[in-house]
Amino acid sequence: MQAKAAIGMDRRSFLKTAALGTVALGLGASLPGVARAETFKLAPLPWAENALEPYISARTIKFHYGKHHAGYVKKLNGAIKGTPWAAKSLEEIILGSYGKDDFLFNNAAQVWNHTFYWNSLKPGGGGRPTGDLAAGMVAQFGSVETCLQQLQEASAKRFGSGWGWLCLKDGKLVVVSSSNALNPMVDGMKPLLTIDVWEHAYYLDYQNRRGDYLKGVMEHLINWDFAAQNLKS
């Protein structure tokens, strides 16, 4: 049975991951705004700002997407302007800058993480996954319920800012958490979905009640279709 784990991202892990190449570590789903480009654009939200209410308010989305996410895009474009990075994909920048350029890595990873997070949510989401995704949860965790509980717990127990993730590693589902901007790609994993547990993701709506935010996400917003699509790709 697979237990949840924190991501350990040392220099050795990065070198091993980089050798795999970005094809093996692709997004799976096609996310707008993250393709190879001279300038990255803020990817449009996959739903209206108020679509996740009452679990995440339009006010939170306005600040989270319009200020935080947009800010990372602006800083990333400033960092790559006039450099060889401008010809790289977002994944290539993340893998290539990890352990070498913290500013570049943090902003590139946060652009990717946020775009992935928006797609990991949908109005009328939540509930239980089905099909191959559910079968994989049973195979690795013993039951769907155990996997969902571990994902919620990993997100809840992440100290400070970070992310909870459902990933694929070596063909098996794993639940992990990461701090700040860290992305499981640098540890050889393929993200299937993510939950943002930075305070700006929930504080306007829930203050310090991260658990209530996570309950709303897991029961009403999590996009299992997106995770299933990434599993198959």
The answer on whether 196 is annotated among ligand-binding residues is: yes
* pLDDT score for 16: 30
Q: Are 191 and 183 in contact (CB under 8 A)?
A: yes
**Is residue 39 in a domain?**
no
The answer on whether 69 is annotated among ligand-binding residues is: no
Percent of the chain with pLDDT over 90: 83
**Is residue 170 in a domain?**
yes
Chain segment 44-71, per-residue pLDDT in tens: 999 999 999 999 999 999 999 999 999 9
pLDDT average, residue stretch 24-34: 40
**Is residue 192 in a domain?**
yes
pLDDT average, residue stretch 188-204: 97
**Is residue 49 in a domain?**
no
The answer on whether 220 is annotated among ligand-binding residues is: no
The Cα–Cα gap between 189 and 172 comes to 10
- What average pLDDT is seen over the chain? 87
**Is residue 44 in a domain?**
no
The answer on whether 64 is annotated among ligand-binding residues is: yes
Range of the domain at 122: 1-31+56-233
Q: 172-179 and 5-6 as β-strands: parallel, antiparallel, unpaired?
A: parallel
Total number of domains in the chain: 1
Question: Which residues neighbour 59 within 8 Å (Cβ) at sequence distance 6 or greater?
Answer: 204, 205
Q: Which two tokens stand for residue 157?
A: 């127990």
The Cα–Cα gap between 55 and 166 comes to 21
Chain segment 97-122, per-residue pLDDT in tens: 999 999 999 999 999 999 999 999 99
